[in-house]
């Protein structure tokens, strides 16, 4: 017999996994059969009545108490810290303990899941082996509290006579009750190093925590019965403990099915209807298992998300925030547009199936007039959210909360609740994207919002036309345009005017804010940077005073400066940064970040190929904007057939007594007056340019020598101011003008004399300046934007003949150097180019510009 017993034991050990599976499957089959039998006894109508009869207060109390009932489980995670060399923070223990215990509570797998999660959470505070040992010791006491309660249930049944209906299940209580005494004896009587750090005090603490866990669960279960108006709750206590022992013995995760079937059968013994029992268990499962588990999932996903996000250097969170921001913006515009449709064309919204299908996903406010005002307000705030303004967040939250409350008071359908849930989620996730201090109005933004505003007014005007009582229509008025009453339409019109004022105030609020970028023009400060680090081809244009100046500093010392002017949402920067070139990249990054906070993007105008490639690495796109012509001076001479005409021209000017001179500042009033006469004659009433080109300004002209051509009477008839290039190898000029009746070829006279002067003074190149848009977009396979730019080159603008300019310079130029426009990659190149042309095409008064009095925007800071 003993031999047979050994064989059976050996067989069981060898096939324990299979046997365990057979046992679990048998239990599951039994549960399914019993569930089917009980299901036939349940009255669906009665079940629905029990579910819907619960008041809001009752449901809230079950929700709160269900969460409280889970708290004792956290004791295990605080005790486990005593086994580890480093104690985790209390907040971390609470968070990880909630996840571990609620996961283990619902899914379980014999405690394997809880042990695995604890090893994961606490593994960073100790080596994995030590954590597993600690978790294993804790796991032994998870059922100790249930064991004690089983013993107390026996006392209740046999001493106090409560729950005698369940005496046939005494064996289960005895089996469960023996677990704790056996465990206590096993850990103390057996000498083992494994249990050396389990003194009696710690075991009592673990058991007390386990008793609170099972006691709270039982108390909460009976509280649900009390809320359902059921009696005989004292007798339910031993049944609850028996059912838990049976559920654990079944080895089904969370005792799902085994516990429930046993409870339904047992509750019938105390007079509880199966429908009532199902509702009772349903509430217990939802508020004790599912709700805490849902909270744990949120915590777990958030925690895992943080780990993944950290591992992937923040990219997942960045993508999620950006996606949420886009969805949030779309939802705001969608809500605003739907409100406008419902307010301006109510019948259309009801009759059109497509529009009507979206009404469950729309916030509902207090009335038609209020909808119009709130719709326009949301439009303004949506523009702020779209442009990532942090000032738009809380006003938007306020309106959305108001809308959600009024919506839920009128509609509690699942679709509406899901829509509001999505809106809340994307609102929270998009907050980190809202960092800008103010917004600027890009041309595209103005067009998009303007279309919606205009369409709203037009639609409302058409509705007014059809509903006006004094207008008689030959044909029937389309029902889509009919208003309930004329007075209602008039109240809506008043709301329209209020909405316009409201949206103006909203946009004003979102767009105001200090401009820290412009340091103002300080000649000494500009010259100090140029003198210390050298200038560049365009640095002298800072002295025009028609541009803002932004400095980049290191340890409080100016290293570089940018010359720029704003247009809409662009900062158009003239040329490359001037100053210490080793700081170019950090200077651009700093300027770009500061500008981005103000909803502005950088555009670099007329920059070199090398600088363009540097900016491309920072995320900029570029377009070739033209070519700059250089004349090689050491080899320059007008002998030979190529310059036969120019040689003849120079000889004629010499015979007729024309002379070249270089006049150095300071200049007297008579000389400056003559230059102004020449400039006015040359302009012939046309408007001067600026920004990238010099204009007639005394302060600017007094900064450098001026080359002049005089006639035989010594009268100046043409002039050109020298332009420092920051190099001793390149010389150039900026402003070159002559009187209207100057002899033909006077420009050649100026240039050739300057070439000779530059050659004689050791310069290698003379910079003839830009031929804008030349060599751009000539290939049919080139970029569409560059081909569009070529049209501008082909047809020109204002009084500049670009094609002729290129042709004239080409006879002298020995090398053409490409120049580029560099712009932020998400900008429209056509809009950017038009904005550049608008700036370049207009001279502005330097004094007015520096005083900040030039062309203020409708919203926000001054803009030109």
User: What was the pLDDT predicted at 123?
Assistant: 63
Q: What average pLDDT is seen over the chain?
A: 80
Based on the fold, state whether residues 348 and 248 are members of the same structural domain.
Answer: no
Based on the fold, state whether residues 131 and 276 are members of the same structural domain.
Answer: yes
Greatest mean pLDDT among 337-341, 562-566, 822-826 lies in 562-566
User: What was the pLDDT predicted at 591?
Assistant: 94
Q: Is residue 714 part of a domain?
A: no
Based on the fold, state whether residues 60 and 27 are members of the same structural domain.
Answer: no
Greatest mean pLDDT among 125-134, 207-216, 507-516 lies in 207-216
Based on the fold, state whether residues 62 and 159 are members of the same structural domain.
Answer: yes
Determine the 3-state secondary structure of 774 from DSSP: coil
User: What was the pLDDT predicted at 828?
Assistant: 81
Q: Decide if 691 contacts 840 (C-beta within 8 A).
A: yes
* pLDDT score of 125 more than 70: no
Q: Give the count of beta carbons closer than 10 Å to the beta carbon of residue 696.
A: 18
- Residue 442's domain spans which residues? 315-511
* pLDDT score of 831 more than 80: yes
Q: How confident is the model at residue 48 (pLDDT cuts 50, 70, 90)?
A: low
User: What was the pLDDT predicted at 474?
Assistant: 65
Q: How confident is the model at residue 259 (pLDDT cuts 50, 70, 90)?
A: confident
Burial of 761 (0-12, 13-18, 19+ CB in 10 A): exposed
| CA 66 – CA 549 distance, rounded (Å) | 64
Q: Is residue 679 part of a domain?
A: no
Peptide bond before residue 666 is cis, with ω within 30 degrees of 0: yes
Q: Decide if 517 contacts 550 (C-beta within 8 A).
A: yes
Q: How confident is the model at residue 774 (pLDDT cuts 50, 70, 90)?
A: low
Greatest mean pLDDT among 100-114, 413-427, 675-689, 805-819 lies in 675-689
Determine the 3-state secondary structure of 190 from DSSP: coil
User: What was the pLDDT predicted at 706?
Assistant: 94
Greatest Cα-to-Cα distance within the chain, rounded to the nearest angstrom:
142
Task: Provide mean pLDDT across the span 197-202.
Answer: 75
User: What was the pLDDT predicted at 644?
Assistant: 84
Q: Is residue 571 part of a domain?
A: no
Q: Which residue has the higher pLDDT, 860 or 610?
A: 610
DSSP-assigned states of every residue in 202-271: HHHHHHHHHHHHHHHHHHHHHHHHHHTT---HHHHHHHHHHHHHHHHHTT-GGGTTHHHHHHHHHHHTTT
Specify the pairing of strand 557-567 against strand 570-574.
antiparallel
Q: Is residue 6 part of a domain?
A: yes
**What percent of the chain has pLDDT above 70?**
80
- With CA atoms as reference, report the closest residue to 258 among 34, 107, 19, 17: 34
User: What was the pLDDT predicted at 413?
Assistant: 66
Q: Which of 478, 511, 544 is the last residue of a domain?
A: 511
Q: Which of 511, 529, 555 is the last residue of a domain?
A: 511
User: What was the pLDDT predicted at 852?
Assistant: 61
pLDDT in tens, 597-606: 999 999 999 9
Q: Is residue 436 part of a domain?
A: yes
Task: Provide mean pLDDT across the span 92-97.
Answer: 83
Q: Is residue 678 part of a domain?
A: no
Based on the fold, state whether residues 85 and 205 are members of the same structural domain.
Answer: yes
Residue 600 DSSP label: -
- With CA atoms as reference, report the closest residue to 730 among 764, 756, 778: 764
Based on the fold, state whether residues 64 and 83 are members of the same structural domain.
Answer: yes
* pLDDT score of 864 more than 60: no
| CA 720 – CA 701 distance, rounded (Å) | 9
* pLDDT score of 340 more than 90: no
Based on the fold, state whether residues 136 and 251 are members of the same structural domain.
Answer: yes
* pLDDT score of 392 more than 80: yes
Q: Decide if 691 contacts 542 (C-beta within 8 A).
A: no
User: What was the pLDDT predicted at 273?
Assistant: 78
User: What was the pLDDT predicted at 859?
Assistant: 47
User: What was the pLDDT predicted at 41?
Assistant: 45
Q: Who's near 542: CB < 8 A, 6+ residues apart? A: 521, 526, 549, 561, 563, 578
Based on the fold, state whether residues 307 and 320 are members of the same structural domain.
Answer: no
pLDDT in tens, 285-316: 888 888 888 888 888 887 777 777 777 777 77
Task: Provide mean pLDDT across the span 188-206.
Answer: 72
Q: How confident is the model at residue 349 (pLDDT cuts 50, 70, 90)?
A: low
| CA 689 – CA 704 distance, rounded (Å) | 20
Q: Which of 511, 546, 574 is the last residue of a domain?
A: 511
* Count: domains in the chain: 3
What is the distance, to the nearest Å, from the Cα of residue 678 to the centroid of all Cα atoms in its chain? 56
Based on the fold, state whether residues 188 and 232 are members of the same structural domain.
Answer: yes
Based on the fold, state whether residues 269 and 391 are members of the same structural domain.
Answer: no
Based on the fold, state whether residues 285 and 342 are members of the same structural domain.
Answer: no
Q: How confident is the model at residue 132 (pLDDT cuts 50, 70, 90)?
A: confident
User: What was the pLDDT predicted at 141?
Assistant: 82
* pLDDT score of 847 more than 70: no
* pLDDT score of 338 more than 80: yes
Task: Provide mean pLDDT across the span 641-658.
Answer: 87
Based on the fold, state whether residues 203 and 329 are members of the same structural domain.
Answer: no
Q: Which residue has the higher pLDDT, 278 or 223?
A: 223
DSSP-assigned states of every residue in 365-414: -S-HHHHHHHHHHHHHHHHHHHTTBGGGHHHHHHHHHHHHHHHHHH---H
Q: Is residue 789 part of a domain?
A: no
Q: Which of 116-125, 354-363, 429-438 has the lowest mean pLDDT?
A: 116-125
Greatest mean pLDDT among 505-514, 523-532, 689-698 lies in 523-532
Residue that is written with structure tokens 């020995």 in the block? 814
User: What was the pLDDT predicted at 158?
Assistant: 86
Lookup: tokens for 544: 């025009």
Q: Is residue 348 part of a domain?
A: yes
The CA–CA distances, whole Å, from 561 to 518, 618, 836 equal: 10, 19, 20
């Amino acid at each position: 017999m003993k031999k047979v017993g050994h064989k059976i034991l050996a067989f069981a050990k060898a096939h324990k996994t299979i046997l365990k599976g057979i046992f679990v499957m048998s239990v599951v089959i039994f549960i399914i059969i019993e569930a089917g039998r009980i299901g036939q006894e349940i009255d669906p109508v009665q079940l629905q009545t029990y579910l819907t009869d619960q008041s809001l207060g009752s449901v809230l109390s079950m929700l709160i108490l269900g969460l409280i009932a889970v708290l004792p489980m956290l004791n295990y995670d605080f005790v486990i810290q005593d086994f580890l060399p480093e104690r985790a923070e209390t907040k971390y223990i609470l968070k990880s303990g909630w996840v571990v215990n609620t996961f283990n509570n619902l899914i379980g797998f014999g405690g394997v899941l809880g042990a695995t999660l604890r090893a994961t959470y606490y593994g960073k505070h100790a080596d994995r082996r030590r954590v597993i040992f600690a978790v294993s010791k804790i796991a032994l006491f998870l059922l100790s509290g249930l064991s004690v309660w089983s013993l107390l249930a026996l006392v209740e049944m046999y001493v106090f006579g409560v729950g005698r209906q369940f005496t046939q299940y005494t064996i289960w209580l005895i089996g469960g009750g023996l677990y704790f005494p056996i465990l206590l004896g096993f850990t103390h009587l057996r000498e083992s190093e494994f249990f050396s750090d389990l003194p009696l005090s710690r075991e009592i603490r673990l058991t007390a925590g386990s008793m609170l866990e099972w006691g709270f669960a039982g108390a909460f279960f009976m509280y649900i019965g009390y809320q359902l108006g059921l009696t005989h709750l004292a007798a339910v206590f031993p049944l609850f403990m028996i059912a838990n022992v049976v559920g654990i013995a079944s080895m089904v995760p969370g005792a799902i099915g085994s516990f429930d079937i046993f409870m339904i059968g047992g509750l019938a013994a105390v007079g509880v209807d199966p429908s009532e029992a199902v509702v009772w268990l349903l509430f217990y499962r939802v508020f004790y298992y599912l709700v805490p588990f849902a909270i744990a999932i949120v915590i777990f996903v958030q925690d895992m998300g943080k780990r993944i996000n950290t591992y992937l250097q923040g990219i997942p969170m960045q993508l999620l925030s950006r996606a949420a921001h886009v969805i949030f913006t779309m939802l705001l515009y969608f809500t605003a547009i739907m409100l406008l449709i419902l307010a301006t064309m109510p019948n259309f919204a009801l009759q059109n199936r497509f529009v009507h299908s979206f009404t469950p996903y729309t916030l509902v406010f207090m009335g038609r007039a209020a909808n119009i005002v709130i719709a326009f307000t949301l439009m303004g705030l949506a523009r702020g959210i779209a442009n990532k303004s942090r000032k738009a967040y809380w006003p938007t939250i306020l309106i959305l909360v108001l809308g959600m409350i009024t919506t839920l008071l009128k509609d509690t359908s699942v679709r509406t609740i899901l829509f509001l849930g999505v809106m809340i989620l994307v609102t929270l996730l998009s907050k980190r994207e809202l960092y800008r201090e103010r917004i600027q109005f890009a041309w595209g933004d103005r067009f998009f919002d303007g279309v919606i505003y205009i369409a709203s007014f037009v639609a409302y005007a058409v509705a007014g036309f059809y509903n006006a009582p004094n207008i008689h229509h030959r044909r029937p008025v389309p029902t889509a345009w009919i208003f309930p009453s004329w007075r209602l339409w008039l109240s809506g019109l008043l709301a329209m005017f209020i909405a316009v004022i409201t949206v103006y105030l909203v946009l004003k609020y979102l767009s105001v804010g200090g401009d820290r970028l412009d340091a103002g023009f300080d000649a000494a400060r500009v010259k100090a940077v140029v003198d210390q680090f050298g200038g560049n081809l365009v640095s002298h244009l800072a002295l025009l005073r028609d541009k803002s100046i932004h400095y980049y500093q290191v340890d409080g010392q100016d290293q570089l400066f940018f010359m720029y002017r704003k247009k809409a949402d662009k900062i158009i920067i003239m040329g490359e940064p001037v100053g210490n070139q080793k700081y170019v990249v950090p200077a651009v990054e700093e300027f770009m970040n500061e500008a981005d906070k103000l909803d502005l993007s950088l555009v670099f105008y007329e920059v070199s190929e090398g600088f363009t490639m540097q900016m491309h690495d920072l995320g900029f796109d570029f377009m070739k904007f033209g070519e700059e012509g250089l004349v090689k001076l050491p080899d320059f001479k007008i002998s030979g057939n190529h310059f036969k005409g120019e040689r003849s021209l120079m000889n004629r000017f010499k015979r007729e007594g024309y002379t070249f001179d270089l006049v150095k500042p300071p200049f007297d009033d008579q000389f400056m007056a003559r230059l102004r006469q020449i400039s006015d004659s040359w302009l012939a009433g046309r408007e001067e340019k600026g920004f990238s080109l010099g204009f007639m300004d005394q302060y600017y002209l007094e900064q450098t020598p001026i080359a002049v051509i005089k006639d035989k009477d010594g009268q100046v008839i043409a002039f050109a101011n020298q332009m420092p290039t920051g190099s001793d190898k390149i010389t150039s000029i900026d402003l070159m003008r002559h009187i209207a009746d100057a002899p033909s070829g006077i420009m050649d006279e100026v240039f050739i004399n300057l070439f000779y002067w530059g050659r004689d003074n050791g310069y290698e190149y003379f910079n003839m300046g830009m031929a804008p848009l030349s060599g751009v977009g000539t290939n049919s396979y080139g970029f569409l934007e560059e081909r569009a730019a070529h049209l501008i080159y082909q047809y020109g603008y204002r009084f500049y003949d670009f094609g002729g300019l290129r042709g004239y310079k080409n006879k002298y130029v020995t090398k053409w150097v490409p120049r580029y426009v560099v712009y932020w990659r998400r900008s429209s190149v056509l809009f950017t180019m038009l904005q550049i042309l608008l700036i370049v095409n207009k001279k502005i008064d330097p004094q007015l510009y520096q005083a900040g009095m030039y062309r203020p925007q409708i919203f926000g800071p001054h803009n030109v």
